Amino acid sequence: MSELSPLVLTLKLDQKTFNYFNQLRQQHFPPERNFLPAHVTLFHSLPAEQESSLQQTLQETCSRTPMLSLTFERLRFLGKGVAAEVNCSELIQFRQQLAAHWHHWLSRQDQQSYRPHVTLQNKVTPDQSRLLYDQLTREWKPLQGKGEGLLLWYYKGGPWELANQFNFK
C-alpha cells in the first residue's frame, strides 16, 4: 500500500478491445510519455487515505453490476491528441452513482462532466494531432467491446501500480 499515492479508477476492457486500443496507443502516443496501457478513466484522483472504504464500495458495487456493452462509434479531436469515445449510458450512470457516493472526496477534475474515452495520442502539436485525427477518422469503423470490471491503481507519476481489480458479475 502506498499512503501518499492518489488512486486512479479505470474500466477493465475485454482483452480483444484492450489489445486493439493498446496497439493504437503504442503506435501514436509519444514513446517518451507513454507509461500506461490503453485505459478508460472513471476517476483521476481518489484519496489514498480512503483506500479501504473505496475498495469496499467497489467490491460491493461491482459484484452486483453486469458487464457493460461498449460502443466506440467515433473519434474525438483533443487539440493536442486523439481519443476514441466510449458510448455506454450504463457506464455513465454507474460512474454518476459512484461520484454521488464519493462526492466529498472528488477532485475538481473528477467533479466535471464525464465523457468516457480511450486516449490514443496526447501531448503532441495541434498539427500532429489533426493529421492523426483525419487519418484515423477516414479509416474508422465503429466497434463493440465489453467493460468487464474496474481497476484501482496507485498513481506513481509515470507508470501506475495496480492496487486491486473488481470484476462485474
> 133 lies in a domain?
no
Phi first, then psi: what are they for 153, rounded to 5°?
-125, 150
pTM of the predicted protein model: 0.94
Number of H helices, E strands in the chain: 5, 8
pLDDT of 3 reads 55
Where is 89: in which H helix or E strand? Answer: helix 89-101
> 160 lies in a domain?
yes
Please tell me the distance from the alpha carbon of residue 20 to that of residue 131, in angstroms, as a whole number: 20
> 44 lies in a domain?
yes
Q: Per-residue confidence of the chain (169 residues) as pLDDT tens digits? A: 445 789 999 999 999 999 999 999 999 999 898 989 999 999 999 999 999 999 999 999 999 999 999 999 999 999 999 999 999 999 999 999 999 999 999 999 999 999 999 999 999 999 999 999 999 999 999 999 999 999 999 998 888 999 999 999 9
CA 43 to chain centroid: 8
Residue 29's domain comprises: 7-72+88-118+145-167
Please tell me the distance from the alpha carbon of residue 22 to that of residue 26, in angstroms, as a whole number: 6
pLDDT of 2 reads 43
Overall domain count for the chain: 1
> 140 lies in a domain?
no
> 131 lies in a domain?
no
Neighbours of 107 (CB within 10 A): 13
